[in-house]
Amino acid sequence: MICSPVKIVISLWCQLVIAAYSLEIGSYDLERGRPAKCEPIVIPMCQGIGYNLTRMPNFMDHNNQREAAIKLNEFAPLVEYGCDVHLRFFLCSLYAPMCTDQVSTSIPACRPMCEQARQKCSPIMEKFNYAWPDSLDCSKLPTRNDPNAQLLLCCLSSGIVIHYIATRW
């Protein structure tokens, strides 16, 4: 039985599709060129915030959650002070970013959440001679209002409900 080139191409394509679906989605971080899997959040401050999986390295370039937790703990007094109701969620979105196996990258907070936290908490920090950290630069986060960028996901928190917003970065 002789197969036509079309049948061979279709057969190979079908095998490729089947193989692709059998691979674990999101297990390779294209941005950093290395394997990346979602892992349960173990950082105490980031538990119970509306999602429970993260991916390392995070947006602050920490390679593991232990390292991220140490740096995140520096913000504990500000979170406890309560200058912004979403500050904890915002910080966790950077230090323990949301992860889902359906998306190949971690999902950060949206820029408006950062701007709100900076607006409400920066004056409190200034009272103690601290400036809003450069590492929390809101302009680096995605926003819904940038029509010139690629499609990206970001999340906003309203209460305990998390909204995933397809936005442009």
> Which pLDDT value is given to residue 79?
97
Q: Specify the pLDDT at position 155.
A: 63
Domains observed in the chain: 5-166 (1.10.2000.10)
Q: What is the DSSP letter of 138?
A: G
Q: What pLDDT digit, counting tens, does each position of 14-62 carry?
A: 343 333 333 333 445 555 565 568 999 999 999 999 889 999 999 899 9
Asked if residues 63 and 57 have their Cβ atoms less than 8 Å apart, the reply is yes
Element housing 39 (H / E): strand 39-40
The answer to whether the beta carbons of residues 114 and 138 sit under 8 Å apart is: yes
* pLDDT for residue 123 is more than 50: yes
